[in-house]
Amino acid sequence: MPKVRVIVVGTGGIARSHIKNMLAQAKTTSVVGFVEVSPEQRDKTKALMRDLGIPCPPFHGSIRELVKAQGVADAAFICTPHKFHFENACDCLRLGLDVLIEKPMVLNASEAQRLIRLRDKTRRLVVVAFNGSLSPAVKKAKELLRAGAIGRITGLAAYTHQRWKTSTAGTWRQDPEISGGGFLFDAGSHMVNTSLELLGEDVAEVVALMDNRGTPVEINSTVSGRTRGGVTFSLTAIGDSMDCTSQVMVIGDTGILETGIWGERLKLRKIGTREFQPVPYPKSQGPWGQFLKVRAGRMKNPSPPEIGLRFAEMMDMIRQSVATGRVVRRRG
């Protein structure tokens, strides 16, 4: 099959990590252009390409400028700051590109709904780069849960902590106008999304607390809630920590499943045993590799924009609870 010709929109730190992974998939992928307005990020991306010994594709100031100069590619990977995700994705869809978009997909539920309508109108592919939804480990976990591997699900507990406050100081990630939120909305979004993925049903009610720790955005957050089916859950995100780690535990009456917020592992402990045992699952080549499988029709899209809408609606409930100091219940 011909290589997928892809442009990368935004070439900051997370994008360069993706670019390195994409270039390692040379049999299927051709990175043909970059969109980047920051001279600093352009220089860092050029340095990466030099280190890899690969000629650097051309840079452009906008998606339309790139298309005018180079023609339409097959796909785009959007890695810009959160505020620009919606506009970038809409431009790509209207120009006829399939889209892989970094999390969080957009800033709010209204943008998510509009993006879904445009996806339907253009009939292009949109995949959200939520590692948990794209993870073979999480897919395997969902299969085990449906098969009753831990019996009746009685609860879920998840946490993540990271040196986020210090590492993002002075960057756009702590500017709420550009980022849309702090640690829970950024890296913590993986915890929220993977937890919702494993719970497998709508959230009925939540109550939340947030602490900005002297910054313009939330740094530490705790969220408790209940699903429509009555399963309680607890999520904790601490962005003022010394390192980065995570855990998601789905608790049942005959066992416990354990993974990370990125779906990077999977373990199972059955009733009557003392230790968690690793559960085998297929490996993947990351979000881009999974996107290619979906695009080729080899896999149903596990992370469509509806997943981005689900996250946005959950964040709306969390923020309303923080603002009012009350339990917030889903309407309808």
Instruction: Label residue 257 by pLDDT band (50, 70, 90).
Output: very high
Please say if the pLDDT value at position 332 is more than 80: no
**CA 328 to CA 324: how far, in whole Å?**
9
Tally Cβ neighbours within 10 Å of residue 275.
6
Pairing between β-strand 255-259 and β-strand 266-270 as defined by DSSP bridges: antiparallel
Same fold, 4-129 and 132-283+304-329: no
Q: Is the pLDDT of residue 223 over 80?
A: yes
For 73-129, how does the pLDDT look when each residue is reduced to its tens digit (9 = 90+)? Answer: 999 999 999 999 999 999 999 999 999 999 999 999 999 999 999 999 999 999 999
Does 299 have pLDDT greater than 80?
Answer: yes
CATH assignment of 132-283+304-329, among 2.40.50.100, 3.30.360.10, 3.40.109.10, 3.40.190.10: 3.30.360.10
Q: Residue 167 pLDDT more than 80?
A: yes
What ranges do the domains of the chain cover?
Answer: 4-129, 132-283+304-329
For all residues of the chain together, what is the average pLDDT? 97
Please give the pLDDT value at position 1: 72
Closest C-alpha to 187, from 203, 170, 174: 174
The predicted-structure confidence for 21-58, as pLDDT tens digits, reads as follows 999 999 999 999 999 999 999 999 999 999 999 999 99
Q: How far apart are CA 55 and CA 34, in angstroms?
A: 13
pLDDT at 131 over 80: yes
Tens digit of each residue's pLDDT (9 = 90 or more) over 65-85: 999 999 999 999 999 999 999
Query: What pLDDT is stored for residue 243 in this prediction?
Result: 86
pLDDT at 143 over 90: yes
- Which tokens go with 312? 């946005």
In this prediction the pTM is 0.96
Taking the mean position of all CA atoms in its chain, how far away is CA 292? 17
Q: Which CATH class is domain 4-129?
A: alpha beta
171 residue type, one letter: T
User: Comparing C-alpha atoms, which of 108, 84, 135, 163 is closest to residue 282?
Assistant: 135
